[in-house]
Each structure stands twice: as C-alpha cells, then as structure tokens.
Structure 1
C-alpha cells in the first residue's frame, strides 16, 4: 500500500503541475474547457483508481492470509474457523461474507473497522462495475478515507497475527 500512496501523490502532483503550466498539449487539449474543471475531473479519476488499487491490495492480503492459515494449520481460533471454510470452499471463499466476517467475529477486530471496510468494499463494487448507478453508502468514500480504513485493517491483522504466533 505504501507504493500506491507514493504513486497517488506523484500523479496528483504531476496533475497540478500539468494543469498550471503552459504546455502546448495542455492548451490544445483543453482550449474549450476550463482548466480547473478538467483538472478536477482528472483528480477524481485518480482518486477512484487509487481507491480501487488500495482495496485490491486489502483483498489480496486477506486471501493470502486465509490460504496461509489453511495450509500451515495454525492453531489459533481464527485459523481453525478459516480451515473449516477452506474445507467447504477451498480458494473460493467469499471475501466479505466469510473471510472479513471471520476477522470481525472470531478475531474480534473492532466492529467499526469491519463495517467501515465492508462499506469501502461496496464502494469498490461501485467503482469496478462502471459507476452506472447512484450509490447509497451511508458515508462519503474517497482515496484518503479508503486508505485509512485499509491501513487500520492491515495493522489489526498484523497485530493479531503477531500475538497468536
């Protein structure tokens, strides 16, 4: 996730530099459109793509952890619960309904964190499926919000794993 944060900051800075400059490409491409409006649209797209990347990283971390628990046969309660899921579903366990649920229920991660993460995944579904409907998330999501939720979740995962080994 650190690489995503660095990339996001680099591209954001580049967009501000580009739209404040006088390059011929800028002048040609946005002659009929206000530069601030075009810049804001570009920044919004960056926000969407960075949010998607962060949430994809969280999914990868959860799924890798799940498979590690299934294969390595750890003895903590979360690993045992995940092995039961693995016996039924193998690598096709459902991310939100099974794996993240177990992190909240068995590992007892804070409910507010789990609900925030589940909401962020609803935001990801909206992003990934074309943004063609009007979302009803119950709160605003943006890159910063998603990053903070994801970072907090990964830290809690790491803390749980460190305590149970």
Structure 2
C-alpha cells in the first residue's frame, strides 16, 4: 500500500501555508502594492482571515481523511490477519457481509466504540462527531448549520484516535 502522510506532516504543511498567507498579505510581499492597490486595511484583513479559515478547513479535512485511511487499513489488516481479539472478530463478521465496503461510522467506529472502555469511548465519540464536519465540507457546504471544529481540535482528536486504537 502507498505510504500515507503522517499527522505531523499534514500539520507542518498547514503551518507553512498559513505562514505563507500571512507573508503574502503583508508589506513584506514585493507585489503587495500592486495586488492590494485599491484595498482598505479592513478589506485586506478580512480577505486574509477568509483565506486562513479556508486553509483551516482544508487541513482539517485532510486530517480526517488520513484518520479514515488508518481506520480502514486497520480494519482490512485485522480481517486478513484473523486476529483473535473482539474487535477483529467483529470486523470479520462485517467483512463477510460487506467485504471492503464497511461503513466508517456505522461499522468500523461503532465496533470500536462497542469494544472499548469508557475513557477510550470518549475519543471515538469525538471523532464520530467530527465526521459531520467532514460531511459538511465534502458535500458542498450547502446546509446552514455547519459544525465548527478548529484544525487544532481535529488534529488532537485524530492523534488521540490513532494512538488510542493503536492504528498505523
């Protein structure tokens, strides 16, 4: 399987893009006078804020996609390796019915949730809640009540999920 970017690499990319935006929207940008010729300071600040918000959402979506990939790879590995733990046994039952098309929330995350202790369930619950944000992002952002999660929140929950479930 192809290698996946780590959460740290995604976070580093996010930091670089945000720093680049801040530089671009500053007087240190050699093209600043031409680019922002007719802008007021408020317009420049607002546009920068919009670009940073968009970058936050794109980076959060990338993090959530990375976690989904780790969960699906783990699901397939547990099915293939025929591990004897409760999660693997439950995954094999799902695999028998759905094959490689297990549903992320209803099958994989529910199985994890059902087989964890209370403190670990909190992590899975938080991730499941963030999937609404992912759906909002991935499906056109057309409904009014968008779930709000910062990049930092998504990163922390993703990191906790990967370490709690010992995903690769």
Same fold (TM over 0.5): yes
For each residue in 1:123-159, what CA deviation from the matched residue of structure 2 results, as whole angstroms up to 9, or x when unmatched? 000011111111254xx3111111111111111011x
1:83 corresponds in structure 2 to: 92
For each residue in 1:58-100, what CA deviation from the matched residue of structure 2 results, as whole angstroms up to 9, or x when unmatched? 0000000000001010111110000000000000000001101
How many Å apart are 1:27 and its aligned residue?
Answer: 3.4
- 2:160 corresponds, among 136, 139, 152, to 152
- Flag the structure with higher helix content: 1
For structure 2, which runs of at least 5 residues remain unmatched after alignment? 1-6
Could you tell me how far apart the structure 2 residues matched to 1:60 and 1:119 are?
17
Checking the alignment, whether the CA contact within 8 Å between 2:136 and 2:146 is kept in structure 1 is no
TM-score normalized by the length of structure 1: 0.88
| Superposition misfits of 4+ residues, deviation over 6 angstroms | none
- 1:112 corresponds, among 122, 134, 141, to 122
113-122 or 43-52, larger mean C-alpha shift:
113-122
CA separation of 1:45 and 1:136: change in aligned 2, threshold 3 A: closer
CA separation of 1:136 and 1:130: change in aligned 2, threshold 3 A: closer
1:97 equivalent to 2:106? Answer: yes
- 5 Å-filtered alignment, 1:14-163, equals 14-23=20-29, 25-33=31-39, 34-108=43-117, 110-135=120-145, 137=147, 140-158=148-166
Could you tell me how far apart the structure 2 residues matched to 1:7 and 1:136 are?
25
2:14 corresponds in structure 1 to: 8
Could you tell me how far apart the structure 2 residues matched to 1:28 and 1:129 are?
36
Checking the alignment, whether the CA contact within 8 Å between 1:126 and 1:135 is kept in structure 2 is no
How many Å apart are 1:31 and its aligned residue?
Answer: 3.2
CA separation of 1:64 and 1:55: change in aligned 2, threshold 3 A: same
TM-score normalized by the length of structure 2: 0.87
Query: What's the Cα RMSD here?
Result: 1.6
3-state SS of 1:132 partner: coil
